[in-house]
Amino acid sequence: DTAVSQTPKYLVTQMGNDKSIKCEQNLGHDTMYWYKQDSKKFLKIMFSYNNKELIINETVPNRFSPKSPDKAHLNLHINSLELGDSAVYFCASSHHHPEQYFGPGTRLTVT
Amino acid sequence: AQTVTQSQPEMSVQEAETVTLSCTYDTSENNYYLFWYKQPPSRQMILVIRQEAYKQQNATENRFSVNFQKAAKSFSLKISDSQLGDTAMYFCAFMKHASPTYKYIFGTGTRLKVLA
């Protein structure tokens, strides 16, 4: 059984479009995260939700909006996509513990 | 702000040999965690090993061990008996002890290639 899943795994879209990436975890964790890995493989946190409450919001453009409908889900919506948004986006989760479990990543390509 | 530095962008090692990946970090915190993650071509992030800063004993996981030098703020990863499956990007990561706002600060990664 997949612990942290993301859909889609690949997403190709044009500049200006709006897209969403979904994340689900079946581990019973209460904290979920979004990380961005750029073309140079650098990984940086974007957001974190704890019990559906936003607790980490790094310097991310307003075009990125996370939404957590419940503790098991954290979605990422991106408006007006730009070329620089092309990256791999990782979802992760944790529970009262520093160790985080990562999803398989979503490769977003903006053309 | 915390920073993590991996000074070796690429390394290679012969199969069955030993290799050490370097990581240094900067922090004023006393309680924190350090991690090594492996990212193979499949891009899945896989936890290799974890170290709590308050523990003086170096963590080991099978062929993987760390050399944690708290005063020097150094956290290197040693891979013994390297295998072809160890070929991957390796990321060192720092995490401040701040529940529930745990967040990783990653280094830039070291690309390791194991040669047959």
Task: For residue A88, list chain B residues with Cβ-Cβ distance below 8 A.
Answer: 43
Across chain B, where does the E strand assignment appear? Answer: 3-5, 10-14, 19-21, 24-26, 32-39, 46-52, 60-61, 64-69, 74-79, 88-96, 104-106, 110-115
Domain count for chain B, please give it. Answer: 1
User: B101 contacts in A (CB within 8 Å)?
Assistant: 48, 50, 55-56
CA distance A92 to A104: 9
Residue B15's domain comprises 3-115
Domain residue limits, chain A: 4-110
Q: Which residue of A has its CA nearest to B38?
A: A102
Q: Among the CATH numbers 2.60.40.1180, 1.10.3720.10, 2.60.40.10, 2.60.120.10, which is that of A4-110?
A: 2.60.40.10
Look at residue A1 in the predicted model and tell me its pLDDT: 63
Each residue's pLDDT tens digit, B11-35: 999 999 999 999 999 999 888 999 9
Position B96 confidence tier, pLDDT thresholds 50, 70, 90: confident
Any B CB within 8 A of A5 CB: no
Tokens of B47: 């936890």
Closest approach of B105 to chain A, Cα-based (Å): 7
* Residues of chain A neighbouring B89 (CB-CB closer than 8 A): 41
B80: closest CA of chain A, how far (Å):
24
CA distance B15 to A36: 32
Distance of CA B102 to the CA centre of its chain: 18
Q: Is A42 on the interface with B (CB under 8 A)?
A: yes
- What CATH number should be reported for the domain holding residue B71? 2.60.40.10
- At B1 the pLDDT is 76
Regions of chain A with pLDDT less than 70: 1-2
- Lowest-pLDDT choice from A11-15, A50-54, B5-9, B69-73: A50-54
